[in-house]
């Protein structure tokens, strides 16, 4: 199944890479790109339309658009905002990017859009909340990309450390995307068996310590080497969209609004959720040990403190 129309708001490297990946995966008939930089969006559209003749399943159209195009769209993906600078925390982006999100939300609202919104702009948990509050949409229809990328990094690191295929690994990273992400060691599985049953505790602790560091620090490493990360998040966004348009009911760690789940309320943060045609269809509750629960509480408290100042 394909979406009729996907709207991209923000044509930077993340947005452009996402649209390119979506086209290759044949996710929609039509793509509309919106950006305040007219030259950037025009050039991106001209570049992207050249791939159509060589695609095994061509799309109908890619064009530069306006917010009026949102009215009959299925999905809007927001990647707009100032990018993260080397050594800068995602939370430092909040002041500038919150103003951008409020403007975007007001324009979407005026269009009459009735579909699902996926936010990938950083800090993603806070900006997803801002978008929802500005629009007033049902929480299920506003999804943040959350820790889906962090979890992909975890799966890659685990596959390397334990010498298995990445598809043989299952893991969960919850809480804030970035430095305060919580790796749920107690639910790591290798070939459908919990890690704690496969190796002795000393070996696991030794390997997981280095894996934790690699996962948490990977974004900074990439940004220091090449100024931005965009391939991983582009594919993560496509995975969310595929689960929506095909009603796959995939369990993905994305940023969702919590209303007493995990003892938290009033914030967007990442936990496992079932994604289907209606957006967030169910929030799954992981049994956390005391250490994991404490770390998750710290992660949520940090977000709630900032939310009070918004």
Tell me which residues are annotated as active site: 177
Spatial separation of the C-alpha atoms in residues 179 and 82, rounded to whole Å: 19
Spatial separation of the C-alpha atoms in residues 150 and 181, rounded to whole Å: 8
Q: Which residues pair with 33 in a beta bridge?
A: 8, 64
By CB atoms closer than 10 A (0-12, 13-18, 19+), residue 253 is buried
For residue 60, what are its two tokens? 């109908």
Close Cβ partners of 9 (under 8 Å, ≥ 6 residues apart): 15, 34, 35, 76, 77, 78, 79, 80, 104
Q: Angle 290-307/124-135 helices, nearest 10 degrees?
A: 50
């Amino acid at each position: 199944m394909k979406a009729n129309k996907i709207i991209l708001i923000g044509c930077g490297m993340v947005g452009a890479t996402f649209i390119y990946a979506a086209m290759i995966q044949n996710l929609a008939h039509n793509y509309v790109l919106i950006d305040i930089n007219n030259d950037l969006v025009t050039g991106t559209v001209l570049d992207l339309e050249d791939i159509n003749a060589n695609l095994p399943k061509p799309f109908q159209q890619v064009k530069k658009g306006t917010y009026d195009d949102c009215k009959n769209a299925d999905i809007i993906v927001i990647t707009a905002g100032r990018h993260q600078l080397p050594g800068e925390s995602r939370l430092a982006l909040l002041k500038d990017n919150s103003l951008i999100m409020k403007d975007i939300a007001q324009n979407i609202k005026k269009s009459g859009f009735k579909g699902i919104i996926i936010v990938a702009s950083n800090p993603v948990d806070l900006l997803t909340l801002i978008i929802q509050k500005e629009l007033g949409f049902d929480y299920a229809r506003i999804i943040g990309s959350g820790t889906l990328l962090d979890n992909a990094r975890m799966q890659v690191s685990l596959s390397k450390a334990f010498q298995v295929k990445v598809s043989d690994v299952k893991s969960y990273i919850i809480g804030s995307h970035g430095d305060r992400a919580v790796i749920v060691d107690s639910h790591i599985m290798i070939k459908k068996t919990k890690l704690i049953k496969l190796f002795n505790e000393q070996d696991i602790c030794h390997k997981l310590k280095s894996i934790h560091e690699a996962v948490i620090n990977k974004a900074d490493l990439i940004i220091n080497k090449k100024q931005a990360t965009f391939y991983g998040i582009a594919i993560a966004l496509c995975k969310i969209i595929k689960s929506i348009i095909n009603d796959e009911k995939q369990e993905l760690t994305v940023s969702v609004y919590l209303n007493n789940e995990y003892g938290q309320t009033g914030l967007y943060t990442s936990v496992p959720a079932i994604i289907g045609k209606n957006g967030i269809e169910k929030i799954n509750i992981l049994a956390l040990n005391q250490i994991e629960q404490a770390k998750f509480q710290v992660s949520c408290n940090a977000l709630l403190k900032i939310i009070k100042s918004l």
